[in-house]
Amino acid sequence: MHVRASLHHDFKISRIDDRLYSAFIEHMGRAIYSGIYEPGHPQADLNGFRKDVLELVRDLHIPAIRYPGGNFVSAYHWEDGIGPKENRPVRLDLAWRSKESNQVGINEFAQWAQMAGIEMMLAVNLGSRSLEDARNFAEYTLHPGGTYWSDLRRSHGVQEPYNVKMWCLGNEMDGPWQIGQKKAKEYGQLANQTAKALKALDSNIEAIVCGSSNDQMPTYPDWEREVLEECYENVDYISLHKYFGNSSRDTLNYFAKIEETGRYIQAIGGVIDFVKAKKRAKNDVYICFDEWNVWYHRREEDARRWHEWNWPEAPALLEEDYNFEDALFVAGLINEFIRRSDRVRIACIAQLVNVIAPIRAEKGGPAWRQTIYYPYQFASLYGRGTALDVAVDGPTYDCNVASDVNYLDAAAVHDEKAGMVTLFLVNRHLEEDVDLDMTLTGFSNARLVEHNVMAGFGLRDTNGADNPDAVAPRNGTGIGVDNSRIKGKLAALSYHVLRLDISTGVST
């Protein structure tokens, strides 16, 4: 299959916000307990954090992490997780029918995030609680000292306030499953007042208001319009969530859900513009895609289990085993975020460890990388800079969710500082190689310095405790770069990261 493509130095989409490669972790399942934190594990440090898991997290170079939920946050009392551990109450977590020991709270999590080199992005409970609680949490977290809440933090051994800029105003507030579900107008007003209060406390705060739980919700996209009409001037981002699956085993249709996501982003972009115009507002609101991932392998089974079980503590939940097909999907989805980086400033893979996660850790046992770890890692490492438009001219397909879908999925990022251009390419064709002929304009002396490839695996191949490296990238071959031309073969169902050194000159 012959595919022509072209890339031009001046055809820029946007400067990419590094936070496009952020993550999310929730108090649920084994994400925190026996995920990042497992006192007594052979790899645990003095504070109970698993060093093996931390190492895998660090290698992802994650800029920011959303915490502590998710559905969990909508009935969470953050005060339960501060002060001496032995005094902390055990509570029922109504979202996941589990017990929450509160042995990890904001201070422990902040300590872990600091070790991992990740900025925190905190969510407040606007489900069972309200503005006052959000304000107290922010004061405990952000204020230097001399007030009730900040001195309480200092009495807990944390002298300096945390530097938390991003605050999520609740979670999925339109969802019938949410504790404290709200109507759009009601939520928009509460979000507006909460954003104002948080910004009064610290003017550096960026407020993230909840959009619909996904683009299939009956109130989507009116929800976004109604909510933004109440709070547009006081918020900075609107949150989008979307989880993906392939229960019908229709690979091409699965991959095309990436185009559907593009339409979702575009539609919300339109709503933002509409409300901005209607309100004659001066500020811009961007998209924070703060939950995305593949979630279907165990979804139904898990839903059955958790509705029946008797409030266990840190049960195995949403522990998806990701396969090679999912890795190709995730690679393409991140490409879409790069292509839409003019609108999407922040995106969070959901979640990070054990629960729908790129990293798995057995209780008392090893930790390993799932297949989707790699495309996420490559994007986080090499996807920083300016997104460039890649024009692809090649065969397309039609399917249920979209038409005219390119078999070749491509994104490009120019890292001006490093003098590098990185191409992220996925050949989604089930049988045919792509015979690539790509022209580079405005770059001279391009040299291919690194080629990583994931190819040759069965679509259902996975990694596990016994075969942690079964599906992993290797060095690629078969691509030639001759100054301003890239030519070569991309095997059917393959993912490529091509790193081009262009530091020796940019031609005009």
- Which residues of this chain interact with ligand AHR, rule CB under 6 A? 26, 69-71, 171-172, 291, 350-351
Quick count: other Cβ atoms within 10 Å of Cβ 180? 17
Q: What is the DSSP letter of 206?
A: E
Q: Which of 251, 125, 134, 248 minimizes the C-alpha distance to 193?
A: 134
CA 432, 435, 438: angle at the middle one, nearest 5?
140
Question: 3-class secondary structure for 365-385?
Answer: CCEEECCCHHHHHHHHHHCCC
Beta-carbon count within 10 A of 159 CB: 9
Going from the C-alpha of 60 to that of each of 83, 180, 381, 383, the distances in angstroms are 31, 35, 7, 12
C-beta of 29 vs 383, nearer to ligand AHR: 29
Instruction: Give the whole-angstrom CA distance, residue 294 versus residue 297.
Output: 9
Just list the catalytic residues: 172, 291
Instruction: Output the smallest distance, CB 155 to ligand AHR, in A.
Output: 32
What is the Cα–Cα distance from 262 to 265, expressed in whole angstroms?
A: 5
Kindly state the DSSP code that residue 483 receives in the 8-state scheme: B
Please identify, using beta-carbon distances, which residue of 275 and 352 lies nearer to ligand AHR.
352
Which residue pairs, CB below 8 angstroms and at least 24 apart, start in 340-343? 340/262, 340/265, 340/266, 340/287, 341/13, 341/14, 341/15, 341/16, 341/17, 341/20, 341/387, 342/13, 342/14, 342/387, 343/265, 343/266, 343/268, 343/269, 343/272, 343/286, 343/287
Tell me how far, at minimum, the Cβ of 73 lies from ligand AHR, in Å.
8
Residue nearest to ligand AHR (CB): 70
Least separation in angstroms between CB 143 and ligand AHR: 28
What residue spans of 103-208 are helical by DSSP H? 106-116, 131-142, 148-155, 184-201
Q: How many CB atoms within 10 Å of residue 457?
A: 19
CA distance 13 to 338: 9
Q: Closest approach of Cβ 299 to ligand AHR, in Å?
A: 10
**98 is written with which tokens?**
């589990």
- If phi > 0 it is left, if psi is from -120 to 50 it is alpha, else beta; for residue 395 that is beta
Tokens describing residue 338: 């790069």
Q: For residues 179 and 275, which CB has a smaller minimum distance to ligand AHR in the complex?
A: 179
Q: Which is nearer to ligand AHR, 69 or 488 (CB)?
A: 69
Distance separating alpha carbons of residues 129 and 152, to the nearest angstrom = 21
| Closest to 341 (Cα-Cα) out of 291, 282, 412 | 412
Calpha distance 214→94 (Å, rounded): 21
Taking the complex as a whole, the smallest distance from the CB of residue 398 to ligand AHR amounts, in Å, to: 30
Buried b (16+ CB within 10 A) or exposed e, 484-500: bebebebbbbbbbbbbb
